[in-house]
Amino acid sequence: MHKMLIVGGVAAGATAAARARRLSGDAEITVLEAGPDVSFANCGLPYYIGGDIESRSKLILQSPESFKDQYNVTVKTMTEVVSIDKDAKTVEVLDKGSGSKATLSYDSLILAQGGKPIIPPLPGVDKDHVFSLWTLADMDAIHDYINDSEPATVVVVGGGFIGLEMVEALKKRGLDVTVVERLPQVMPNLEAEIAGYLTEELTAFGVDVLTNRAVASIKDSSVVLDNGAEVPAEMVLMSVGVRPTLKLAEETGLALGEAGGLLVDEFMRTSDENIWAAGDMVEIEHRSHGKKVRIPLAGPANRQGRIAATNALGIKKSYTGSLGTSIVRVFEAVAGSTGLSLQRAREAGIPADAVVIHKENHTSYYPGSKQVTVMVIYNTETAVIIGGQTAGYAGADRRLDVLATAIAAKMTLGDIADLDLAYSPPLGTANDPVNMAAFTAENRQSGHSPALTAGELDAWAGDKKPQIIDIRETFARDRAHVAGSVHIPLSYLGENMASLDKSQPILVIGENGKKGHQALRQLIQAGFTEVVNASGGYISLERYQRAVGFNNMEVGMGELEAKSLEASNETANESAPETEIAPAAASDGPIVVDVRSPEEYTTGAYPDAVNIPLDELDDRIQEFGPFDRDIIVYCASGARSAYAQRILMQTGYTNVQNGGGITDMMYKR
Ligand SMILES: Cc1cc2nc3c(=O)[nH]c(=O)nc-3n(C[C@H](O)[C@H](O)[C@H](O)COP(=O)(O)OP(=O)(O)OC[C@H]3O[C@@H](n4cnc5c(N)ncnc54)[C@H](O)[C@@H]3O)c2cc1C
């Protein structure tokens, strides 16, 4: 009978045990777990603290008893493996309750010891109000401390995904939260502009985000930063990363790898033929560039545990590596990445470019659509996708998974442009944001539409000192713009081209990159040679500015609308205030009528314009007064207002003008 010992009983270890039992009915399987709990949902810990998960017991996925009942696996908790004799194929275990030691033998040994949060040796780090979050016991300690001591302020040290999930949880518990991050941005695996989307959300929810800052010491009710500033902190959460647990492996003489993890081959076997390993403690191959990396995430840990058990039982199954696909939700913002970022790709010597698009997650005419951002990173020699990042509230997860699948399948931009993705008006768009990102990347790749991401533009702008043309509508420009840019809305570009210098490079900035592409094509067709579109438009520039800031462009940032947890719990769908036409006698000029929807109207309207949506025009026609009254109608593009003009004229109004789109109206003003 095969004797399998598994060290560690959470993600990788518990999965390995269950898999081993499914493969072998008679193997003797024992899980040795140093802690008090086995198979618990550590990814769920922040949501219990925040109150989204109300029942603590839901986080406990298995107990020693249920493991025995369901799988006939023996689980020994509070049992630490303290040494391994790989020649004798035995381990020495310490019963942490009684202090007694015992020796157990194995045919195969699976190490699934995970890692531990890094706690930097700062003065004051061992104070009672300083916590980290890795286990149920950590969670309980934080939960109880908030209940008992009622801290009002907390500093979260580290802006990675656990830190940010905890920001939301701590806000939900009523604390004032400050995030201190040593790097220039939160979530360093994300491109700066994608991280900027999260920074916007954190800021809107009143969280202070201090980047390029480190905590130097911790006092009783504050932390001191590396610049000497003091930040109130009646509680401190350390969340600066995780270090693999390697002492036992090192003492056993198992080989470590170049990325600082335990070395395993494609079968998850260590340098010893009877010992396998899986999860946060190992280093594995990155599927995008084949280099060794450590990816401490639950998905890879589970799959590696499954594969380690399969091989330990003599069935060959190889692990193909990981893309490090990860996603985080912070309040109402979701952002994630898969594969390589543009920077990592270039650092790895891969010729890479990227584009970014922002598009509605489902058709804009169906209520409730939200913008989703998709960035694709691709190899410029092969057009194969090597990375992807997404941001948005609804639909960012789905697009990220499509990109992860495309990277794993080594798809080219052309393959992705042709993907048939699910579409129905409430659920998607006929050209999915993923398709659109691929079209845009093909346009950059072919030279049809040169574009640079926000991160690339900074250096380019510093070098080229371009003429910057802002083609957005007036409201958007008034909200925020790049200092020194010229405002020429797209529809006025043709008539203003003569004012532009053909010998100078041009940077075109639209709202989201799409109209920027149109403007760029117009300019190129008119003989301008060096024109670049800001990929992702102003949305991307503003997020980049908020995350890390430009050095060579002065990018204005609009005021963020403050958000609150109370407001997001209410179904906020406030309609625009209804407007009325003044009686004819009260006005001497023409009436300006905005025939867009109330939601569009609230985003910005012509001064004193009356909002009568096209659908309501028939019912409200008596409000217009005498038939000779001067009326100007406008909408977003001039299409709906053309209908409105026709309806009014058919009714008998003689002086009706179609003012066109809001951009035209504002520009002519
Ligand atoms: C708060 C939090 C949120 C997270 N959220 C996500 C998420 O949303 N998505 C995601 O992909 N990942 C997430 N993770 C990461 C994910 O949980 C880990 O990647 C995963 O748990 C790693 O599994 P593992 O089995 O390798 O190690 P672990 O889960 O750390 O388990 C290792 C176990 O080994 C035991 N052990 C160590 N040494 C010994 C020894 N000598 N003898 C006996 N036992 C030993 C330890 O006590 C421990 O219980 C999160 C982690 C945390 C803490």
Predicted confidence (pLDDT) at residue 276 exceeds the cutoff of 60 = yes
Ligand 1: residue whose CA is nearest its atom 23: 11
- CB burial readout 551-572, b (16+ within 10 A) else e: eebebebeeeeebeeeeeeeee
State how far Cα 318 lies from the chain centre.
30
Ligand 1 contact, 301 CB (< 6 A): yes
Ligand 1: residue whose CA is nearest its atom 2: 43
Q: In this predicted model, what pLDDT tens digit does every residue of 325-346 receive, in sequence order?
A: 999 999 999 999 999 999 999 9
pLDDT at 624: 85
288 C-alpha to ligand 1 centroid (Å) = 24
Q: In this predicted model, what pLDDT tens digit does every residue of 110-125 receive, in sequence order?
A: 999 999 999 999 999 9
pLDDT at 566: 83
Q: In this predicted model, what pLDDT tens digit does every residue of 512-533 receive, in sequence order?
A: 999 999 999 999 999 999 999 9
What superfamily would CATH give domain 130-240? FAD/NAD(P)-binding domain (3.50.50.60)
Helix (H, G, I), strand (E, B) or coil at 399: helix
pLDDT at 247: 98
Predicted confidence (pLDDT) at residue 603 exceeds the cutoff of 90 = no
| Most informative mutation of 77, 189, 242, 280 for ligand 1 (most atoms within 8 A of CB) | 280
328 C-alpha to ligand 1 centroid (Å) = 17
CA distance 570 to 557: 28
Ligand 1 contact, 34 CB (< 6 A): yes
Band (pLDDT 50/70/90 cuts) for residue 97 is: very high
310 C-alpha to ligand 1 centroid (Å) = 21
507 C-alpha to ligand 1 centroid (Å) = 47
Q: In this predicted model, what pLDDT tens digit does every residue of 543-554 receive, in sequence order?
A: 999 999 999 999
CA distance 444 to 378: 11
578 C-alpha to ligand 1 centroid (Å) = 55
Predicted confidence (pLDDT) at residue 666 exceeds the cutoff of 60 = yes
- CB burial readout 423-452, b (16+ within 10 A) else e: eeeeebbeebbbbbbbbbbbbbbeeebbbb
114 C-alpha to ligand 1 centroid (Å) = 5
Ligand 1 contact, 296 CB (< 6 A): yes
Considering the four listed CATH numbers 3.50.50.60, 3.20.20.10, 3.40.50.720, 2.102.10.10, the one that applies to the domain covering 332-446 is: 3.50.50.60
Ligand 1 contact, 33 CB (< 6 A): yes
Predicted confidence (pLDDT) at residue 572 exceeds the cutoff of 50 = no
List the single range of 182-196, 229-243, 626-640 with lowest mean pLDDT. Answer: 626-640
CA distance 378 to 341: 10
List the single range of 311-315, 451-455, 606-610 with lowest mean pLDDT. Answer: 606-610
Predicted confidence (pLDDT) at residue 448 exceeds the cutoff of 60 = yes
Q: Which of 253, 254, 33, 285 is nearest to 135 (CA)?
A: 33
Predicted confidence (pLDDT) at residue 601 exceeds the cutoff of 70 = yes
Q: Which of 261, 343, 335, 334 is nearest to 300 (CA)?
A: 261
- Please name the residue that has the structure tokens 């070098």: 463
CA distance 617 to 636: 16
pLDDT at 551: 97
pLDDT at 396: 98
Ligand 1: residue whose CA is nearest its atom 27: 114
Q: Are 532 and 460 in contact (CB under 8 A)?
A: yes
Residue bearing the bigger pLDDT, 168 or 619: 168
- CB burial readout 307-328, b (16+ within 10 A) else e: bbbbbbbeeeeebebbbbbbbb
Q: Are 107 and 239 in contact (CB under 8 A)?
A: no
Ligand 1 contact, 30 CB (< 6 A): no
- CATH match of 451-547 with 3.40.250.10: yes
Ligand 1 contact, 162 CB (< 6 A): yes
Hey, do 3-36+77-115+243-312 and 332-446 end up sharing a CATH topology, with the first three levels equal?
Answer: yes
Mean pLDDT (whole number) for 273-277: 98
Ligand 1 contact, 43 CB (< 6 A): yes
Percentage above 90 pLDDT, the chain:
89
The DSSP code for 265 is -
Band (pLDDT 50/70/90 cuts) for residue 87 is: very high
User: What is the pTM assigned to this prediction?
Assistant: 0.92
Name the active-site residue from 146, 635, 662, 666. Answer: 635
Per-residue tokens: 375:
């960035």
pLDDT at 576: 58
Per-residue tokens: 435:
């398709």
The class of domain 3-36+77-115+243-312 in CATH terms is alpha beta
Give me the chain's average pLDDT, please.
95
Band (pLDDT 50/70/90 cuts) for residue 586 is: low
Q: Confirm whether 43 is a catalytic residue.
A: no
Ligand 1 contact, 327 CB (< 6 A): no
Ligand 1: residue whose CA is nearest its atom 20: 298
pLDDT at 583: 64
pLDDT at 584: 54
Task: Report CA-CA distances (Å) from 662 to 490, 626, 638.
Answer: 12, 26, 8
CATH of segment(s) 591-668? 3.40.250.10
Q: Is 361 exposed, middle or buried (0-12, 13-18, 19+ CB in 10 A)?
A: buried
| Most informative mutation of 43, 78, 84, 252 for ligand 1 (most atoms within 8 A of CB) | 43
Point out the ligand 1 atom lying closest to the alpha carbon of residue 15: 25
Ligand 1 contact, 312 CB (< 6 A): no
505 C-alpha to ligand 1 centroid (Å) = 52
303 C-alpha to ligand 1 centroid (Å) = 14
Mean pLDDT (whole number) for 217-228: 98
pLDDT at 668: 78
Torsion angles phi and psi, residue 555, rounded to 5 = -95, 115
pLDDT at 665: 87
Ligand 1 contact, 280 CB (< 6 A): yes
pLDDT at 592: 93
H and E: helices and strands count for the chain: 21, 35
pLDDT at 283: 98
Ligand 1 contact, 6 CB (< 6 A): no
DSSP string for residues in 117-173: E-----TTTTSTTEE--SSHHHHHHHHHHHHHH--SEEEEE--SHHHHHHHHHHHHT
CA distance 260 to 241: 14
Per-residue tokens: 550:
């430009």
Domain residue limits, the chain: 3-36+77-115+243-312, 130-240, 332-446, 451-547, 591-668
pLDDT at 569: 67
